[in-house]
Amino acid sequence: STGNWSTGDWSTGYRSTGHWSTGDCSTGNWSTGNCSTGNWSTGHCSTGNWSISNYSTGHFSTEDYSGFGSFNKPCSPEEWKRSKKPQFLYFDFTEWVPLEYMTDEEKKDNPQCETTGGYLKIFDYQDTFRASWDKLTNEEKAEQYDQLKKLPNYDENVFEQIAGFRPGHLMK
């Protein structure tokens, strides 16, 4: 970690315990939001996963609201837990780049690399989301899209706001 008082690996946030994160005071992994416990999220003060909203406790949230939910609608934690999540949702949008693999420009842009032995490279969230989908075979896409549509309250418009694409439009 490059952040002060942090215990997470490959993180740049301060007072954080999450891994591969840039947010401050966070425990979530692969997140950029501050004061969050959710994973794969960009919102602040959130506990849900795959959200871009603030103060959210649900999953796939684009709206700031309280209460547990998914796709901006109420959902019980039990209902969410029972649902099968498609594997492409679990992606890394950060990567630890060791000093010996850094370009001269990366070293110039990240002067702390000499102390930390590298830096945390952050990829665009929506680009990485799409790349995770694009890696799938057509058969895997069909199976995982079916799983996605079965998530509680699935909403293609909300998914597109978060992920940057509509899986249904990319099916062959």
Q: Check pLDDT > 90 for residue 149.
A: yes
In-domain check, residue 130? yes
Euclidean distance between CA atoms 70 and 57, whole angstroms: 9
Domain membership of residue 154 as a residue range = 85-170
Residue 5 lies in a domain: no
Task: Provide CB contacts within 8 A for 6, sequence distance 6+.
Answer: 13, 14, 15, 16, 17
User: Among candidates 77, 87, 81, 96, which has minimal Cα distance to 20?
Assistant: 96
User: What is residue 157's three-state secondary structure?
Assistant: helix
Residue 107 lies in a domain: yes
Q: What is the Cα–Cα distance from 13 to 27, expressed in whole angstroms?
A: 10
Q: How far out from the chain centre does Cα 33 lie? A: 10
Residue-wise pLDDT for 102-112, tens only, equals 999 999 999 99
7-64 pLDDT, tens digit each? 455 455 544 545 555 554 455 555 555 455 555 555 545 566 677 665 566 677 776 6
Strand 69-70 vs strand 94-98: parallel, antiparallel, or unpaired? unpaired
46 occurs within a structural domain: no
Residue 30 included in any domain: no
> Is 161 inside a domain boundary?
yes
Give a yes or no: residue 149 inside a domain.
Answer: yes
Is residue 134 domain-resident?
yes
Say how many domains are in the chain: 1
